[in-house]
Amino acid sequence: MSNFISDGDPSDPYAFVQWKGTDVCMDFHCECGAHCHFDGYFAYAVKCPHCETIWEMPCIIKPRKANGNTYPSHVKMAQNMEPDESYSHEVTGADGVTRDVPYPVPRSQNRHPAPGQ
C-alpha cells in the first residue's frame, strides 16, 4: 500500500486513520465522473459501480489548516489532541504569543533500535 509519507514530503502535516471496521457514510467522486455513495461496514476498499475501478481507502490523510472556508461549527468544536511524545519546540500562534509546545520526533529518526543493536 502506498501512503502519503513515502509518496510525499514527510515534513508535511498528516494524520493516520486507524480503520477499525466500523461503519462509514461516504460520498465518493470517481475519476470516471461517477458520483457514488456508500453506507456500511469495512470500507477498506470500494468499487465504482460504473467503471468498476477498485479504490483503496488510505490510512494516511493530509489535513488542511482551518481558514475562512471552514465551517464555523467545525472550528468551534475542534478537538484537542494529546501529544505523542514529550519533546517540545517554540511555536508562535496566530495570536502572536510564543509557546513551548510538544511535538513527536520525525519518523526518520529511529529511536527504538532493533533487538540486538
Per-residue confidence (pLDDT) for residue 105, from 0 to 100: 45
Distances (CA, A) of 13 to 2, 61, 112: 17, 9, 23
Distance (Å, whole) CA 20 – CA 42 = 8
Could you tell me which of 60, 62, 15, 20 has the C-alpha nearest to residue 43? 20
Per-residue confidence (pLDDT) for residue 25, from 0 to 100: 87
Could you tell me which of 50, 59, 47, 60 has the C-alpha nearest to residue 13? 60
What residue spans define the domains of the chain?
4-79
Mean per-residue pLDDT over the chain, rounded:
76
Task: Give tens-digit pLDDT for 7-36.
Answer: 566 677 777 777 776 788 889 999 999 999
Task: Give tens-digit pLDDT for 96-115.
Answer: 887 766 555 444 444 444 44
Model confidence, pTM: 0.52
Task: Give tens-digit pLDDT for 30-82.
Answer: 999 999 999 988 888 999 999 999 999 888 888 889 999 999 999 999 988 77
